[in-house]
Structure 1
């Protein structure tokens, strides 16, 4: 007697639609997912880094523009009389090897004592005493109304820009550029070149340079 056995009893496999994933299929899927997530993370990381860099550069450009606007306004309003010891125009590097600029100008601000008239303005790039890294520098600015030559000098200066790495000035007259200038000896220069490097981190520093024309005030 022959006994027939149905094929469904010969193989212990579920129908194709009810089968699960094999270990290899799971590993391949996980690997592809990891690759995809890594690529997405890299894209977003790159976009975020570019945004941070753009924001930082924009802030540095804005800072340089503000500094140059202030320099330009005060240089264009320079006031100097060779026989008046209360007027001045000098700059370069001081005895502490710090870049500086000192001048009397009619472009006063609300920080001055009177808010009008003529003020003495001083700039100096000095070590930043408030920073943890003592190699960092800060651009300082002081302003006071013009006083008599015998009046005590107020050395207090405010922090104008803590993100300035270097400042240099050059003065042009008679076809040559000079690193130091004192109007009491040479009169006013024709041009003043101001160079800034903004950004304390060496890899992120941006140089800026501009030149200002000094008005002829000899006839005033």
Structure 2
């Protein structure tokens, strides 16, 4: 006579314990993958922001190197139609500089434009209402009597914390916080020997307690190539 063996199943407590263990393991795995994704996203943001900062600095360096002043003035001042300047002003959190340069690029064949233009760099509030400031570039391919106005504006770098400019005076050897070639009390008709640029960008966390962390700071000195106003004698 065979003896029937009893098959013992899981009790309710054992099932609940198994579910709890499985849930804990799943939670740990989810947390690990979530942390890994956040770390990867943060690294990607930092790399993108570093590239944005480097491109902005490279463009400003290239254009500042081509800054110039012109001493070509008509005998009759009423016939003057152009004005070249180099003017740097303090601001918070971004300074501003307006200048004329040989930096215009002809994008259309046979277009009637030269390589001369008006350029400005300054801070502007982001229009999305986030409370952040962007570094923008104004460019006007037509130099006129209002070299600080007109043209089109484009963003060079978003969410900046600082844009600081200083100017090296070749006569004194001192760094100046401002520059003005249009005023006799400033630096009349002469350009700075160098421009020092400090650009600080937020690292990518745009809100909350992390916003002030991981800032990207770039510093460079730009030597200007044409220090004296151009005249017919220097052409």
Would the TM-score normalized by the shorter structure come out above 0.5? yes
Encode CA deviations 1:40-88: one digit per residue, 9 max, x unaligned.
Answer: 1111111110111112112211111121111011011111235767221
Q: Where does residue 71 of structure 1 map in the other structure?
A: 60
Tell me, in whole angstroms, the C-alpha distance in 2 between the residues paired with 1:61 and 1:115.
34
Aligned residues between the structures: 205
Q: Where does residue 143 of structure 1 map in the other structure?
A: 139
| 2:164 counterpart of 1:175 | no
Q: Once superposed, what is the RMSD of the aligned Cα atoms?
A: 3.1
| 2:153 counterpart of 1:158 | yes
Tell me, in whole angstroms, the C-alpha distance in 2 between the residues paired with 1:107 and 1:123.
14
| 2:217 counterpart of 1:207 | yes
CA contact (8 A) 1:88 1:103 kept: yes
Structure 1 unmatched runs, 5+: 1-5
Greater RCO (Cα-Cα under 8 Å, separation 6 or more): 2
Bigger radius of gyration, 1 or 2? Answer: 1
Summarize the alignment of residues 113-124 of structure 1 with structure 2, pairs less than 5 Å apart.
114-124=112-122
TM-score under structure 2 normalisation?
0.73
Give the deviation of 1:121 after TM superposition: 0.7
Q: SS of the counterpart of 1:166?
A: strand
Structure 2 unmatched runs, 5+: 74-81, 229-233
Tell me, in whole angstroms, the C-alpha distance in 1 between the residues paired with 2:105 and 2:159.
23
| 2:156 counterpart of 1:188 | no
1:179–1:52 distance in 2 versus 1, CA, 3 Å: same
TM-score under structure 1 normalisation?
0.77
Give the deviation of 1:216 after TM superposition: 4.2
Pick the aligned partner of 1:106 from 79, 102, 105: 102
Pick the aligned partner of 2:89 from 86, 89, 92: 92
Q: SS of the counterpart of 1:210?
A: strand
Q: Which sits farther off after the overlay, 192-201 or 76-85? A: 76-85
1:118–1:176 distance in 2 versus 1, CA, 3 Å: same
Q: SS of the counterpart of 2:196?
A: strand
Q: Where does residue 76 of structure 2 map in the other structure?
A: none
Tell me, in whole angstroms, the C-alpha distance in 1 between the residues paired with 2:113 and 2:47.
31
Q: Where does residue 21 of structure 2 map in the other structure?
A: 32
